[in-house]
Amino acid sequence: MGPTRAAIRVIESAMAVPAGSSPPAPVCPPQNTSIFSPATEQAARITEVTWLVIGICLLIFVVVEALLVYAIIRYRRRRDAGPHDPPQVYGSGPIELAWTVVPILIVVVLGLVATRGVFSIDTEHPPPHALPVSVIAHQWWWEFRYPDQGIVTANELVVPLSDPDEPRPIALSLQSADVVHSFWVPRLAGKKDVFPHRINTIWFDPTTAGVYHGQCSEYCGRQHAHMLILVRVLPKPEWEQWVRAQQAPAAEVPSGAAGREIFLSTACVKCHTVRGTPADGTFAPDLTHLQSRTTIAAGTLANTHENLLRWVTDPQQVKPGCNMPAMQLRPDQIEQVVAYLETLH
Amino acid sequence: MTVFTGEQRGAVGGRRSWLVELHGWLTTVDHKRIAVLYIVSGLVFLLVAGTEASLMRLQLARPDQHILPPEVFNRLFTMHGTTMIFLVGMPILLGAANFLVPLMIGARDLAFPRLNAFGYWLFLFGALLLYFSYIGGMGVYGAGSAPDVGWFAYSPLTQKTFSRGHSTDYWILGILISGMGSMLTAINLITTIVTMRCRGMTFMRMPLFCWMMLVTSVLVICAFAPLTAAQIMLLFDRQLGSHFFDPEHAGSSVLWQHLFWFFGHPEVYILILPTFGFISEIVPVFSRKVLFGYPLMVMASMLIGFVSLAVWAHHMFAVGMVAPLNAYFAWASMLIAVPTGIKIFNWIATMYGGQLRFQTPMLFATAFVAMFTIGGLTGVMLAVAPFDLQVTDSYFVVGHFHWVLFSGTLFGIFGAVYYWFPKVTGRMLSERLGRWHFWLILTGFIVTFTPMLMSGFLGMPRRIYTYQTGHGWDVWNLISSLGVLVQIAGMLFFVLNVIVSLAKGRRADGDPWDAWTLEWATSSPPAPYNFAEEPVVASRRPLWDLKHPEDPDTEYE
């Protein structure tokens, strides 16, 4: 390939996604991520503590500010004040003792609250029948492995609804493939940092079906902002259906044949896995059932035809610094690859 | 009231060429001039860091904005944090100590004047080295790039694998060198305070600011030593192939966090204790009352200093330490609220029964007490570990520490600038411009940082260069960004005030505020030797005793 043709390709790919392209469309608003609307008992316990702590601190705040405002108003220097300084008060043992002891009592209360919370979060192990999922954080996406089901997926964690009579919590074991990340889905649980070569655990008992959003909350490099987590809690039958679909190898649909050929003959296969094909890379999200996910690029874009085109054409335009390069394909090849990706249900 | 000065300085100043003047500043070992160098450098860096913050708020004003590329944004927050901590807070407070400690204890200079100058130049060149990375950060890779690893630079993001080029090396070396300067100055201050107090000035008669600097200096030595060690280890990792913090080769990234926060948490108190000292000097003078409960204030400061060395891991509740450790760090962190509360109450008690004069220093001091309370209370909230698990590394934390460091350290510094400006320059700052500065910066501060607490509650992580709409974060971020405009207006008034007042501010006599500590007993600005003869004091407020011979403090202390 001569330099001229290479230049043409660069221009072509630049035209496919106009420079200064519009920002990615929002994925699926609204996304409630408030710590005040917990959806699990684990998060609800923290919310309880939060209200208690806010209440106590608000009370102290009001008392202190009231004293201060009173002092400001009451003891402002009057215009008719004489030249003499007011009486000097050097201190008072009993008063100072009072505002030493009262804060100590408050600290004892808060300390006990904190201790109870810490021990209930850190030492209560998940029941043995909890669903284990191993979470592997990458720069900048999440990998979810279900050892019992033999499923590997990315960025969207799909879990069964837990029946209150027969709870089946979700037990996540967290590891990082590179730098420190942090797993945070505020409505499900508090956050836990994710380290390389160290396994952290976190568990929650999802008792309300729905979609819960979160994102990496430890600064992890250039695209820290685009490392979103989406947790879908499905009723058990639907979840089992999802599991069966995920366990199947990739669909082979005639409409994707041309794109499949291109996909398998380029470096895509070095990083991505599509089960049932020679593609078995593990550096990037598993694409076997890409169409079962609602977002691409770790929640950066909605999973639509246009967005797949933009993404495959030049990921660096959408998520600058991410580890996927533009593959320098012709526009018609990109159409074909995307057509193939759209067959991966 | 000029009591202890022999001759006025006027005869020395005046018609010198700028070259002589510049030479004088570059070679000076006079603690007062070095102090001015420190404070001016710090204020310049304050403007730089403020610009960096404004750019970040511009980017975050609306969701899905792409004004700044991610790498630029990441460099901005790294440099903003690093600059504010190491190049604004530290030099201004060390500068203030440089100026005030010898004057307050009746000494003629610090114990080691040349070491003092060395400390300043180490600080300045460390700072310039850090900022040089904007030009040379990528080294042989060509382009410049400032460090983008965050101000606490968690490993392994700082390892060669993830941070190429030399920007992280510039970060390490810049901070290491300026940190050396801080440690030398701390040693200098301790020596000065312990050995050079004038006759009659026992420890328990020292102005509270000197006590604060004594505690702070001890903390500087305790905190910067492990930081320096950790940075050298990190430099070895990057340059010599060691693996202290590299988990790929059995190093530990958690070890870096422990070492960094063992520095990082005392550092917060290094930045706040001196301003406690400012407030403890300003509030009594403008209330016309003696400081309430001086001995307890001293004890509280020492307790804060001591306990602050043992609370570092409350930055690490989400790391996954064992429950007993988390519980311990929660308790220890909350314990600090007790001595801090004592201080707040004692300041308010000082105001009770006084005649409050709300000139600009007092405005800032009062705002400090009112607003820092929120910083302290949000800190207590964060110490409750289960709550912390939700909001650590969220915008709630960003809001919290700005409430501590902005309405704490920065308001304290502004109050101190207005209070001691006449002593340093011989001219008063304009009260009218000062009021504009105060009200704008207070409003801007509240408007900027209150929404951050809210967006943190709503699940917004810190350090993201953009965010999607739909979380309810949009409005809070917009308000927060608008607040920055108000702050910028306030800062313009401050800069204007300094420039105008330097040129034609009202001349100040030795004691413009009718104050009580020794620095007001000499001329403004003080002669190079401070006091013509060594002062002798008999109480905590030597000038009160002089002004009220009928009712001296000596009878009550």
pLDDT digits (tens, 9 = 90+) for A71-118: 999 999 888 877 788 989 999 999 999 999 999 999 999 999 999 988
Instruction: Say if B470 is an interface residue toward chain A (CB within 8 Å).
Output: yes
Instruction: Say if A251 is an interface residue toward chain B (CB within 8 Å).
Output: no
Write the CA distances from B84 to B268, B410, B514, integer angstroms. 12, 10, 33
Half-sphere exposure of B17 (CA within 13 A, CB side): 3
Total CB pairs under 8 A between chain A and B: 292
Q: What share of chain B is helix, strand, coil (3-state, %, to 5)?
A: 70, 0, 30
**Number of other residues whose CB lies within 10 A of the CB of residue A237:** 10
Instruction: Say if B466 is an interface residue toward chain A (CB within 8 Å).
Output: yes
Beta carbons within 8 Å of B278's beta carbon, 6+ residues apart? B96, B209, B365, B412, B413, B415, B416, B419
Phi-psi region of A196 (alpha: psi -120 to 50; beta: other; left: phi over 0): beta
Q: Pick A91's closest partner by Cβ from B162, B293, B468.
A: B293
Instruction: Say if B76 is an interface residue toward chain A (CB within 8 Å).
Output: no
| Greatest CA separation for chain A | 98
Measured at the CA of B45, the angle between CA B40 and CA B51, to 5 degrees, comes to 135
The partner residues of A215 in beta bridges, in order of sequence, read A228
Residue A142, SS3? strand
Span B62-87, mean pLDDT? 94
The partner residues of A280 in beta bridges, in order of sequence, read A273
Instruction: Say if A265 is an interface residue toward chain B (CB within 8 Å).
Output: no
What is the per-residue pLDDT across A9-41, written as a single tens digit (0 to 9) for each?
444 444 343 334 444 444 556 789 999 999 999
* B5 neighbors B526 (Cβ within 8 angstroms): yes
**DSSP state at residue B341:** H
CA-closest candidate to residue B265, choices B229, B219, B319, B318: B219
In DSSP notation, B488-533 reads HHHHHHHHHHHHHHHHHPPB--S-TT---SGGGGS-SSPPTTS-SS
The partner residues of A302 in beta bridges, in order of sequence, read A295
What is the per-residue pLDDT across B256-293, written as a single tens digit (0 to 9) for each?
999 999 999 999 999 999 999 999 999 999 999 999 99
pLDDT band at A119 (very low <50, low <70, confident <90, very high): confident
- What is the reported pLDDT for A35? 94
* B356 neighbors B285 (Cβ within 8 angstroms): no
Span B423-434, mean pLDDT? 96
Write the CA distances from A329 to A11, A324, B445, B550, integer angstroms. 12, 14, 51, 93
Q: Pick A122's closest partner by Cβ from B326, B377, B458.
A: B326
Mean of all residue pLDDT scores within chain A: 89
- Residue B190 CA from chain centroid, whole number: 18
Specify the pairing of strand A131-138 against strand A170-176. parallel
Residue B204, SS3? helix
Mean of all residue pLDDT scores within chain B: 93
Q: Pick A118's closest partner by Cβ from B71, B385, B394.
A: B385
Torsion of CA A266, A272, A275, A277, to 10 degrees: 10
Write out chain A residues lying below 8 Å of B353, CB-based: 75, 86-87, 89
CA-closest candidate to residue B465, choices A32, A300, A306: A300
Write out chain B residues lying below 8 Å of A197, CB-based: 247-248, 250
d(CA A243, CA A225): 30
- Does B383 sit within 8 Å of A182, measured CB to CB? no
Q: Pick B289's closest partner by Cβ from A89, A191, A195.
A: A89
Q: Which of A17, A22, A32, A35 to mutate to test the interface with B (most CBs of B within 10 A)?
A: A35
Span B60-89, mean pLDDT? 94
More confidently predicted of A330 and A16: A330
* B208 neighbors B294 (Cβ within 8 angstroms): yes
Q: Which of A120, A176, A217, A319 to mutate to test the interface with B (most CBs of B within 10 A)?
A: A217
- What is the reported pLDDT for B153? 94
- Does B354 sit within 8 Å of A86, measured CB to CB? yes
* A337 neighbors A328 (Cβ within 8 angstroms): no
Residue whose token pair is 């992890």: A220
d(CA A311, CA A297): 8
pLDDT band at B139 (very low <50, low <70, confident <90, very high): low
Residue A86, SS3? coil
Span B2-17, mean pLDDT? 52
Q: Pick B288's closest partner by Cβ from A71, A86, A111.
A: A86
Q: Which of B297, B384, B553 to mutate to test the interface with A (most CBs of A within 10 A)?
A: B384
The pTM assigned to this predicted structure is 0.93
**What would the two tokens of residue B22 be?**
């510049």
The partner residues of A204 in beta bridges, in order of sequence, read A170
Surface-to-core class of residue A71, CB atoms within 10 Å of its CB (0-12 exposed, 13-18 middle, 19+ buried): buried
Instruction: Report whether pLDDT(A199) > 90.
Output: yes
Span A305-330, mean pLDDT? 94
Write out chain B residues lying below 8 Å of A73, CB-based: none
Q: Pick A115's closest partner by Cβ from B322, B327, B338.
A: B327
- Does B358 sit within 8 Å of A178, measured CB to CB? no
CA distance B260 to chain A (A): 15
d(CA B38, CA B417): 13
**What would the two tokens of residue B260 be?**
């960094």
What is the per-residue pLDDT across A240-286, written as a single tens digit (0 to 9) for each?
999 999 999 998 888 899 999 999 999 999 999 999 999 999 999 99
What is the per-residue pLDDT across B304-323, written as a single tens digit (0 to 9) for each?
999 999 999 999 999 999 89
d(CA A219, CA A227): 10
Instruction: Say if A254 is an interface residue toward chain B (CB within 8 Å).
Output: no
Nearest CA in chain B to A94: B293
**What would the two tokens of residue B418 be?**
């207005």
- What is the reported pLDDT for A1? 39
Instruction: Report whether pLDDT(A4) > 90.
Output: no
CA distance B547 to chain A (A): 11
What single-letter amino acid sits at B64?
A: D
pLDDT band at A128 (very low <50, low <70, confident <90, very high): confident
Span B165-190, mean pLDDT? 94
d(CA B486, CA B236): 45
- Does A68 sit within 8 Å of B463, measured CB to CB? no
Span B23-43, mean pLDDT? 95
- Does A192 sit within 8 Å of B389, measured CB to CB? yes
First-to-last C-alpha distance (Å) of chain A = 36
- Does B345 sit within 8 Å of A123, measured CB to CB? no
Instruction: Say if B307 is an interface residue toward chain A (CB within 8 Å).
Output: no
**What would the two tokens of residue A27 be?**
């994925």
Instruction: Report whether pLDDT(B142) > 60.
Output: no
- What is the reported pLDDT for A97? 94
Question: E-assigned strands of A108-147?
Answer: 131-138, 141-146
The partner residues of A173 in beta bridges, in order of sequence, read A134, A201
CA distance B44 to chain A (A): 28
Q: Pick A320's closest partner by Cβ from B70, B155, B319.
A: B70
Q: Pick A30's closest partner by Cβ from B288, B465, B470.
A: B470
CA distance B221 to chain A (A): 29
What is the per-residue pLDDT across B106-130, written as a single tens digit (0 to 9) for each?
999 999 999 999 999 999 999 999 9
* A258 neighbors A340 (Cβ within 8 angstroms): yes
- Does A64 sit within 8 Å of B344, measured CB to CB? yes
- Does B70 sit within 8 Å of A30, measured CB to CB? no
Instruction: Say if A34 is an interface residue toward chain B (CB within 8 Å).
Output: yes
First-to-last C-alpha distance (Å) of chain B = 24
A window 58-97, beta carbon within 8 A of B: 60-61, 64-65, 67-68, 71-72, 75-78, 81, 85-92, 95-96
What HEC string does B277-294 produce? Answer: HHHHHHHHHHHCCCCCCH
Beta carbons within 8 Å of A119's beta carbon, 6+ residues apart? B323, B327
Phi, psi of A289 (to 5 degrees): -125, 50
Nearest CA in chain B to A214: B459
